[in-house]
Amino acid sequence: MIIVSSPQELASLIVTKAVNMVKKMNAQLLGLVENMSYLACPHCGEAIKVFGEPQGERLAKQLSVNFLGSIPLDPVIARLSDHGQIEDYSAPVIQTLADELRMRTSQQSQQLMQSLPIAWSTQPSES
List the Cα angle 8/13/14 in 5-degree steps.
95
Task: Give the residue extent of every domain in the chain.
Answer: 2-73
Phi and psi at residue 2, in whole multiples of 5°? -120, 130
Q: How far apart, in Å, do the first and last CA atoms of the chain sit?
A: 46
| Per-residue pLDDT tens digits of the chain, which is 127 residues long | 889 999 988 999 999 999 999 999 998 888 899 999 999 898 998 999 999 899 999 999 999 999 988 989 999 988 999 999 989 988 888 888 888 888 888 887 787 777 766 655 555 666 5
Measured CA to CA, the distance from residue 113 to residue 7 in angstroms comes to 37
Question: Is 0.85 surpassed by the pTM of this model?
Answer: no
